[in-house]
């Protein structure tokens, strides 16, 4: 299968590209820059120049392939509303291009507290309602003849991670303490990016239209235990901060550090034969690459 991948050089997307190529698929990867194009070519993928804001480029990529995996997202939390609006526009453009073709379209979504794959969610009640609106919009394209599925992602970790966990490590370094909110019993579900990449491929190959998949390996890691690993590796004290002061201590990461987001992938594993095999979040966090990378 020839697959168009957005976010093809990103943290998750690059793992998806590798997984697809290793399984014998061809990849047409979206590249915004010359550097991204060079990385894609070196990986063995075809290059399609464009960006998530370039809807014509997205439509052309979808038209030229047998299916689409959408991992791209602009992670600008200083202008998050614009990022989610761009994501929604991209999903609409890709859905419209694939309409009536029964070609697969796999999108990325987010985990909420305690939900299962079969739960019908209300975007207005979701902590990240904007991302969930994009999921609902994408899944609705099943009625227009698109074999659409959504992979809901928890905390994704692995070498090359430059998101939440490295940010928390940087804050711990700067403040000289590794902190957690309240009693630290709030939990994060998590998955290694290589396990997630396998699930994207399985969704592409076999997920029925309208399917939701959960890419969850760790069902709930207490945030206090994350802080303890970071404190040990940096040789600094581990301490609690009041939940009300989490945003003061962690900045924009405060609401994520305080969130309680356990989850399960029981149905996904049963339906698709997906078995996570990579290290869990705590074991992965205790690796040198999380502490030696530049901040």
Whether pLDDT at 197 is above 80:
yes
Give the model's confidence band at 154: pLDDT under 50 very low, under 70 low, under 90 confident, else very high: very high
Cβ neighbours of residue 124 closer than 8 Å, sequence gap 6 or more: none
β-sheet bridge partners, residue 218: 190
Within the chain, which residue ranges are assigned CATH 3.90.25.10?
157-189+218-292
Identify the CA nearest to 4 among candidates 84, 81, 55, 58.
58
pLDDT in tens, 39-51: 999 999 999 999 9
Q: Is the distance from CB of 104 to CB of 203 less than 8 angstroms?
A: yes
Whether pLDDT at 123 is above 70:
no
Q: What is the pLDDT of residue 180?
A: 98
Instruction: List the single range of 113-117, 217-221, 230-234 with lowest mean pLDDT.
Output: 113-117
Q: What is the pLDDT of residue 127?
A: 56
CA distance 126 to 138: 17
Identify the CA nearest to 96 among candidates 139, 147, 130, 59.
59
pLDDT in tens, 80-93: 788 889 999 999 99
Q: Is the distance from CB of 65 to CB of 109 less than 8 angstroms?
A: no
Within the chain, which residue ranges are assigned CATH 3.40.50.720?
2-156+191-214
For domain 157-189+218-292, give the CATH number: 3.90.25.10
pLDDT in tens, 17-38: 999 999 999 999 999 999 999 9
Region of residue 267 (phi > 0: left; psi between -120 and 50: alpha; otherwise: beta): alpha
Q: What is the DSSP string of 33-83?
A: SHHHHHHHHHHT-EEEE--TT-HHHHHHHHHTSSEEEE------GGGHHHH
Q: What is the pLDDT of residue 294?
A: 62
Q: Is the distance from CB of 76 to CB of 100 less than 8 angstroms?
A: no
Identify the CA nearest to 106 among candidates 193, 26, 31, 3.
3
CA distance 28 to 44: 10
Q: What is the pLDDT of residue 124?
A: 65
For domain 2-156+191-214, give the CATH number: 3.40.50.720
Instruction: List the single range of 105-114, 258-267, 274-283 with lowest mean pLDDT.
Output: 105-114
Q: What is the pLDDT of residue 248?
A: 96
Average pLDDT score over the chain: 94
Query: Is the model more confident about 110 or about 241?
Result: 241
Q: What is the pLDDT of residue 125?
A: 62
């Amino acid at each position: 299968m020839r697959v168009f991948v957005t976010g093809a050089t990103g943290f998750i997307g690059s793992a998806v590209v590798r997984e697809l190529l290793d399984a014998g698929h061809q990849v047409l990867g979206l590249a915004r820059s010359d550097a991204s194009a060079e990385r894609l070519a070196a990986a063995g993928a075809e290059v399609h120049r464009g960006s998530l804001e370039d809807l014509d480029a997205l439509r052309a990529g979808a038209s030229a392939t047998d299916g689409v995996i959408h991992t791209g997202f602009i992670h600008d939390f200083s202008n998050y509303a614009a990022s989610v609006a761009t994501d929604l526009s991209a999903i609409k453009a890709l859905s419209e291009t694939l309409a009536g073709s029964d070609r697969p379209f796999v999108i990325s979504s987010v985990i909420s507290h305690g939900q299962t794959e079969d739960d019908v969610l209300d975007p207005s009640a979701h902590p990240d309602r904007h991302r969930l609106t994009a999921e609902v919009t994408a899944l609705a394209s099943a009625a227009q003849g698109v074999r659409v599925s959504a992979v809901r992602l928890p905390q994704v970790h692995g070498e090359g991670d430059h998101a939440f966990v490295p940010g928390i490590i940087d804050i711990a370094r700067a403040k000289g303490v590794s902190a957690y909110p309240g009693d630290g019993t709030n939990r994060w579900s998590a998955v290694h990016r290589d396990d997630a990449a396998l699930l994207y491929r399985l969704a592409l190959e076999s997920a029925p239209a309208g399917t939701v998949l959960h890419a969850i390996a760790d069902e709930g890691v207490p945030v206090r235990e994350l802080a303890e690993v970071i404190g040990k590796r940096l040789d600094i004290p581990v301490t609690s901060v009041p939940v009300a002061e989490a945003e003061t201590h962690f900045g924009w990461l405060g609401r994520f550090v305080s969130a309680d987001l356990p989850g399960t992938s029981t149905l996904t594993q049963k339906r698709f034969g997906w078995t996570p095999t990579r290290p869990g979040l705590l074991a992965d966090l205790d690796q040198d690459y999380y502490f030696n990378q530049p901040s």
